[in-house]
């Protein structure tokens, strides 16, 4: 921090403001949260903005600081002061982060009860060359696509579970990555997009071994969610989702076992398509639970999603009328349930899907047994290598007995047949997630409770193997922010009805937005 520099041609600070300005700078560099809270004006009207969005209210700004872990070290190069009134002044500072580049900080200070306080602030930082929370490997491009095809100009963020020739699969875990072999072939799900003209921008982060829907990674950090400041991005296709939402790629290639496409799409306001089980080859994909693992895509537009689907899918089936399952809505939080019902109306046919808790228990038992079969030997040999949340799931998976797995597989056959009979050719409408994106600072118990509610919604597509599309048309109020938080409206259709679902989604998008 450069303090008390003689800034060239700078307007003098009003009385006592210079001291407050430098006190703020010292507190920022020391991450002195009480001092920072005191120097920002109290109340619901205080604003702080950056490239991620605007925080509204002192409480929201304070919560953001608590989760940030401190501001990057910097020096002040120059300050301009413009006095607005006797008790208000605009202070703009040019900053030099210690990591290089230039930034800018704009603050409106007001004298409140004799003390200078920041009432509005905006911070600009140099854009990072690569955000390791989002990307593990990046190129320009990393892999070039065909020069001829409908996807020329599209760019792909590939989840770090797919094989790319010449690269390693990292699975969201640096210990796994260190011993992973270099792949000698590219997974078909990637190659299909390359053949149609899209290029791979890079390999994007994943929740460890895809065994999460939150979007947190204990090793690389939590990818940002530009739709909800300080919110979880959703996972496990967290890196591809954030890359697309940030405009760093146009197609996120991911996987969906229990919601890993639909949840990040919902949290970040994206289009997200989980494909019919087996419709896209999973060769070259590190498995979690092969009975439920599917390939999927995340995009900002329906056009890009149609392009990805058209390049990868070979079978197309129609989809019938819409239907809702009232029992599922009980697991959505009240604001999400209200937004959903407001969007779809109350005159749709209903369907009884049976005991939802029983369906989730079947899904989780088979998923856990297969997760342990896929990765358990490695996990047992590296007990300290996992983050606490994923380690806990593998610990539970290790306890599933062969008898429990066999019983769950038998129940799965009956549950799938029952659901297929109930749904037929109809399209099930439901929220894509039980809530909007939780705060990244939320208690682990709160995040787990949200996960449990969401899994009751997402397991239907997993059990049936049906495709599911998340359409970004719902929203709920977001405390401490100017804009509402997005929530997806999910369409679960018959086998191979992906293209029909996208067409339905486009109609809903046009009608509701």
Per residue, what are the HEC states of 133-154?
Answer: CCEEEEEEEEECCCCCCCCCCC
Full strand arrangement of the beta sheet holding 155-159? 135-143, 199-204, 155-159, 251-256, 294-299, 271-274, 468-476, 485-492, 427-431, 322-324, 349-350
Exposure string for 478-487, b = 16+ CB within 10 A, e = fewer: bebbeebbbb
Instruction: Find residue 81's DSSP bridge partners.
Output: 91
| C-alpha dihedral (360, 361, 367, 370), degrees to nearest 10 | -160
- Answer yes or no: do 159 and 87 share one domain: no
Q: What CATH number has the domain bearing residue 442? A: 3.90.1300.10
Query: Do residues 196 and 252 share a domain?
Result: yes
Does residue 486 lie in a domain region?
A: yes
DSSP letter at 513 equals: -
Q: Are 282 and 295 in contact (CB under 8 A)?
A: yes
- Indicate whether 424 and 300 sit together in one domain: yes
Can you give the pLDDT at residue 129?
76
**What's the token pair of residue 375?**
């990765």
Distance (Å, whole) CA 49 – CA 40: 13
Answer with the one of 124, 148, 178 that is the final residue of a domain.
124
Judged by phi (left if over 0) then psi (alpha if -120 to 50, else beta), residue 505 lies in alpha
Q: What is the mean pLDDT of the chain?
A: 96
Question: Using an 8 Å Cβ cutoff, are 295 and 277 in contact?
Answer: no
Domain span holding position 113: 17-124
Pick from 162, 220, 177, 182: nearest CA to 382: 177
Among 101, 124, 147, the domain-final residue is 124
Over residues 161-175, the mean pLDDT reads: 99
Distance CA(158)–CA(156), nearest Å, equals 6
Task: Please give the angle made by the CA atoms of 349, 355 and 360, to the nearest 5 degrees.
Answer: 110
pLDDT at 29 over 50: yes
Interval 410-458: pLDDT, tens: 999 999 999 999 999 999 999 999 999 999 999 999 999 999 999 999 9
Residue 1 included in any domain: no
Share of the chain above pLDDT 70, in %: 98
The residue among 124, 142, 175 that closes a domain is 124
d(CA 241, CA 271) in angstroms, rounded, equals 10
**Contact, 442 vs 500, CB < 8 A?**
no
326-336 pLDDT tens trace:
999 999 999 99
- Is 390 a domain residue? yes
Residues 424 and 495 in one domain: yes
* Same domain as 378, residue 237: yes
Question: Using CA atoms, how far apart are residues 410 and 513, in angstroms rounded to an integer?
Answer: 43
Residue 6 included in any domain: no
Region 251-259 average pLDDT: 99
Whether 7 has a pLDDT exceeding 60, the answer reads: no
The two structure tokens encoding residue 250: 């146009």
**pLDDT of 267 over the 70 cut:** yes
Torsion sign over Cα 434, 435, 437, 439: negative
Question: Cα dihedral sign for 304, 305, 311, 312?
Answer: positive
Residues 118 and 153 placed together within one structural domain of the fold: no
Instruction: List 492's β-bridge partners, or say none.
Output: 428, 468
d(CA 472, CA 378): 38
In whole angstroms, what is the distance from residue 18 CA to residue 423 CA? Answer: 68
Same domain for 291 and 166, yes or no, is yes
Cα 106 versus chain centre, distance? 29
CATH classification at residue 91 = 3.10.450.50
Residues 210 and 324 in one domain: yes
Mean pLDDT value of segment 258-262: 99
- Domain check: are 43 and 141 in the same one? no
In a domain, 89, yes or no: yes
Are 346 and 420 part of one and the same domain? yes
116 and 208, same domain (yes or no):
no
Nearest residue to 276 (alpha-carbon basis) of 241, 304, 313: 313
Structural domain includes residue 407: yes
Instruction: Report CA torsion sign: 346, 348, 351, 357.
Output: negative
Lowest-confidence region among 94-98, 383-387, 425-429: 94-98
Would you state the pLDDT for residue 10? 56
The proportion of the chain whose per-residue pLDDT surpasses 90, expressed as a percent, equals 92
- Strand order, beta sheet including 115-124: 53-56, 47-50, 115-124, 103-112, 88-97, 74-85
Contacts for 10 with CB less than 8 Å, ≥ 6 apart: 78, 79, 80, 81
Asked if residue 183 lies in contact with residue 174, where contact means CB atoms within 8 angstroms, the answer is no
Q: Is the residue at 39 inside a domain?
A: yes
* DSSP states along 444-484: HHHHHHHHHHHHHHHHHHHHHT--EEEEEEEEE--TTBSSP
Quick check: is 3 in a domain? no
Phi, psi of 3 (to 5 degrees): -115, 145
Give the residue from 213, 150, 158 showing the smallest Cα distance to 450: 213
Indicate the pLDDT class of residue 375, thresholds 50, 70 and 90: very high
pLDDT of residue 127: 74
DSSP letter, residue 231: B
Decide if pLDDT at 318 tops 50.
yes
Mark whether 115 and 217 lie in a shared domain: no
Alpha helices (H) in 228-348, listed in sequence order:
238-245, 262-268, 302-312, 326-329, 334-344
Confidence of residue 5 (pLDDT cuts 50, 70, 90): very low
Predicted TM-score of the model (pTM)? 0.90
Q: Which residues of 75-105 are buried (b: 16+ CB within 10 A; e: fewer)?
A: ebebbebebeeeebbebebebbeeeeeebeb
Say how far apart CA 434 and CA 333 lie, in whole Å: 6
Report the number of distinct structural domains present in the chain: 2
What is the phi/psi pair of residue 437, to 5°?
-60, 120
């Amino acid at each position: 921090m450069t303090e008390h520099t003689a800034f060239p041609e700078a307007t003098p600070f009003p009385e006592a403001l210079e001291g407050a300005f430098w006190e703020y700078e010292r507190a920022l560099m020391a991450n002195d949260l009480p001092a920072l809270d005191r120097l920002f004006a109290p109340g619901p009207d205080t604003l702080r903005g950056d490239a991620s969005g605007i925080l509204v209210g002192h409480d929201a700004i304070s919560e953001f600081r608590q989760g940030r872990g401190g501001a990057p070290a910097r020096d002040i190069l120059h300050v301009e002061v413009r006095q607005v009134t006797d008790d208000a002044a605009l202070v703009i500072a040019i900053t030099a982060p210690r990591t290089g580049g230039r930034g800018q900080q704009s603050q409106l200070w007001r004298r409140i009860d004799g003390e200078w306080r920041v009432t509005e602030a905006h911070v600009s930082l140099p854009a990072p060359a690569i955000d390791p929370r989002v990307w593990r490997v990046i190129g320009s491009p990393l892999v070039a696509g065909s020069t001829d095809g409908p996807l020329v100009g599209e760019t792909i963020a590939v989840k770090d579970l797919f094989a790319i020739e010449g690269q390693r699969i990292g699975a969201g875990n640096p210990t796994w990555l260190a011993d992973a072999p270099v792949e000698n072939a590219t997974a078909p799900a990637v190659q299909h997009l390359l053949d149609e003209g899209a290029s791979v921008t890079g390999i994007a982060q994943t929740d460890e071994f895809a065994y999460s829907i939150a979007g947190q990674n204990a090793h690389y950090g939590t990818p940002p969610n530009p739709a909800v400041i300080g919110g979880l991005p959703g996972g496990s296709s967290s890196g591809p989702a954030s890359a697309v939402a940030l405009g760093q790629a146009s197609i996120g290639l991911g996987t969906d076992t229990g919601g890993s496409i639909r949840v990040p799409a919902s949290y970040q306001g994206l289009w997200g398509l989980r494909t019919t089980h087996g419709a896209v080859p999973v060769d070259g994909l590190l498995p979690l639970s092969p009975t439920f693992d599917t390939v999927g895509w995340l995009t900002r537009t329906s056009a890009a999603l149609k392009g990805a689907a058209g390049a990868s899918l070979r079978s197309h089936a129609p989809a019938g009328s819409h239907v809702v399952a009232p029992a599922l809505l009980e697991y959505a939080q009240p604001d999400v349930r209200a937004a959903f019902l407001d969007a779809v109306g109350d005159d749709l046919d209903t369907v009884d899907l049976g005991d939802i808790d029983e369906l989730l228990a079947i899904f989780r038992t088979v998923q856990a047994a297969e997760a342990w079969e896929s990765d358990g030997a490695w996990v047992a040999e590296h007990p300290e290598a996992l983050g606490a949340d994923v380690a806990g799931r593998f610990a539970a998976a290790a306890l599933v007995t062969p008898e429990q797995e066999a019983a769950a597989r038998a129940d799965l056959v009956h549950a799938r047949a029952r659901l297929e009979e109930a749904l037929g050719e109809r399209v099930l409408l439901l929220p894509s997630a039980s809530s909007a994106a939780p705060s990244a600072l939320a208690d682990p118990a709160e995040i787990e409770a949200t996960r449990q509610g969401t899994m009751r919604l997402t397991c239907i597509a997993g059990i049936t193997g049906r495709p599911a599309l998340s359409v970004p048309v719902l929203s709920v109020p977001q405390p401490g922010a100017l804009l509402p938080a997005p929530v997806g409206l999910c369409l679960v259709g018959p086998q191979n009805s992906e293209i029909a679902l996208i067409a339905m989604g486009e109609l809903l998008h046009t009608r509701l937005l």
